[in-house]
Amino acid sequence: MKSRFDLPTLFVGAAAAFVLAFIYLPMVVVVVYSFNPDAVNVFPMRGFSLRWYRMLLDDEQLVSALRVSLLIALGGTSIGLLLGVPGAIALARHEFPGKRILERIVLLPLTLPGIVTGVAMLSFFPLIGVPVSLLAVLIGHGTFLIAITLTQVYARLRRLDPSLEEASADLGAPPLTTFFRVILPNIKTAIIGSALLSFTLSLDEIPVTFFLIAGDNTLPIQIWAMMRRGISPEVNAISTLVFAGSIGLILLGTALGGRDKE
């Protein structure tokens, strides 16, 4: 497969470079213009300034939105782990009536448009005593994060030889011991990976949150509200921090979870 860099290869290479630029250039623009000293995004930029970052720190609504988002992400991820991991074990290791249906239901929040899930929850939650509120947002996030964790851990369990667990049980280990000493070490990286994925997705979630929120905004909804009010370079600054945060989480994920994230 040793190919010289000839004309067709150059052509494909140029197309590839164009697409990569198309994906990255807009993000680079936002980062560069977050250091813009002017209030208008002009080309070329006239200098360098941190004023918009200083402005962020004083923006109480934004700081509170960040706090709300982190809390929801933490809570949602915990719900996802507490219910998703057992669910994955049940689906991967046991036979029970309704298993097929459960398998399909779990995929719904991942495949159906978020807006439909959002309006369905908006209509139904008040009927069971959950008004639009941060609690509703938390339940909404928890629901799709169960799906995320369950599918990720399930995929790992399917690749794990069940005879290990059978051996553990045959040697007299009670189910909990088998879980902690045989299953858990083997699915640890999948759990860490799905927790980080859940956290990131929750921090970024809009379609469901949009309909369940009342008053206290999450970070993306607050950014959305700021954008609708008009273009402010402050949004460039918070966007840059959001980029940095996502990339930090990805690096953490690769460092902790190894290569097996699909």
Partner 1 sequence: MDTAPAAKATVHAQNPPKRRALLFLVLPPALWLLCFLVLPYLGLFIQSFLGSDDLGNVVLEPTLDPWKAFFTKTLYRSTLLYTFKIALTVTSLSVLFSVPLAYFIAFKVRRWKELLYSLIIVPLWVSYIVRAYAWKIILGREGILNSFLQWAKITDAPVEAFLYSEWAIVIGLVHIYTPFVLMPVYTAFEQIPRSLVEASKDLGAGRLTTFFRVVFPLSLPGVIAGGTFAFVLTLGDFLAPVLLGGTDNLMISNVVQNLFGTSNDRPLGSVVGIVLLVVVVALLETTSRAEKSFASLESGRGRLGGAR
Cβ closest to partner 1, residue 3 vs residue 163: 3
Cβ closest to partner 1, residue 57 vs residue 227: 227
Q: Are 249 and 196 in contact, with CB atoms under 8 Å apart?
A: yes
- Compute the least distance from the CB of residue 262 to partner 1, in Å: 9
CA distance 112 to 93: 27
- CA distances to 82, 155, 172, 189 from 93, in Å: 17, 12, 18, 19
> DSSP letter string over 14-57?
HHHHHHHHHHHHHHHHHHHHTT-SSSS--SS------HHHHHHH
- Compute the least distance from the CB of residue 54 to partner 1, in Å: 20
Cβ closest to partner 1, residue 67 vs residue 99: 99
Cβ closest to partner 1, residue 108 vs residue 167: 108
- Compute the least distance from the CB of residue 13 to partner 1, in Å: 6
- Compute the least distance from the CB of residue 60 to partner 1, in Å: 20
Other beta carbons within 10 angstroms of residue 10's beta carbon come to 10
Q: Which of 237, 255, 261, 260 is nearest to 66 (CA)?
A: 237
